[in-house]
Amino acid sequence: MTQLRTDLTGNKYGRWTVLRLGPTLHKPHHRIRYWCRCDCGTERLVHAGNLTNGMSSSCGCKGKEHLARVHKKITLDLTNQRFGMLLAVCRVSRSPNKWLCLCDCGNTRIATTHDLHSRRPGMVNCGCTRRTPKLTNSDVEAIRSLRRLNYPLLQIAKKFNVTEGHVSRIVRGLARV
């Protein structure tokens, strides 16, 4: 079957400008291709059908520009901002809305921008407030003095109903009371 060919040279389809006829694919469909130049300067072979039916309107730069605009709108820099007991330290990998956070108790947590801005209980700490009972200043001093007397962490933790890590952070002065 012979295909009627309309010369598309000089026409503009989206960001593509058709430059000249390119090599035709002979098997299996005898598809006609054109050399096209995108507005960004990229030159590429594009199937004629994809140009005329709107399946190809750019080399991909249009989508990249759109994504860049969207990410610019939603990406906030929360570095060194405090949200409850959490301090946003840095963005996690290349994710625009996940943050590595440091809790006042010394633990770390990955939280989303939404979690940090929601101010819901449990979202503005690492979960330590659910695990750790409130200690008075006298309890903290007692823990420190017992540790100075070389009591084992496990015994101190059991006595005050806290974790060994929490005792360790109290002794080092890192835990929030």
Same domain, 157 and 137: yes
Integer Cα distance of 63 and 90 in angstroms:
27
Same domain, 123 and 136: no
Integer Cα distance of 55 and 162 in angstroms:
62
Integer Cα distance of 105 and 130 in angstroms:
12
Same domain, 57 and 17: yes
The answer to whether position 114 is within a domain reads yes
The answer to whether position 53 is within a domain reads yes
pLDDT of residue 78: 83
pLDDT of residue 12: 93
CA dihedral of residues 130, 136, 138, 142 (deg, nearest 10): 0
Same domain, 122 and 138: no
pLDDT of residue 13: 92
pLDDT of residue 1: 44
pLDDT of residue 64: 80
Q: What Å distances lie between residue 47 and 39, 44, 99, 170, CA to CA?
A: 18, 10, 44, 68
**Dihedral sign from CA coordinates of 120, 125, 128, 132:** negative
Integer Cα distance of 167 and 129 in angstroms:
15
pLDDT of residue 43: 92
The answer to whether position 72 is within a domain reads no
pLDDT of residue 35: 93
The letter for the amino acid at 177 is V
Same domain, 122 and 137: no
Same domain, 111 and 153: no
Q: What is the pLDDT tens value at each position of the chain, 177 positions in all?
A: 445 567 889 999 999 999 998 887 776 667 888 999 999 999 999 988 889 898 988 888 888 877 777 666 556 778 898 888 888 898 887 666 888 888 877 788 888 888 887 766 666 777 776 655 678 888 888 988 998 898 888 888 888 877 777 788 888 877 655
Integer Cα distance of 26 and 33 in angstroms:
11
Give me the number of domains the chain comprises.
3
Same domain, 17 and 39: yes
The answer to whether position 69 is within a domain reads no
Task: Indicate the pTM of the whole model.
Answer: 0.40
| Domain span holding position 112 | 82-127
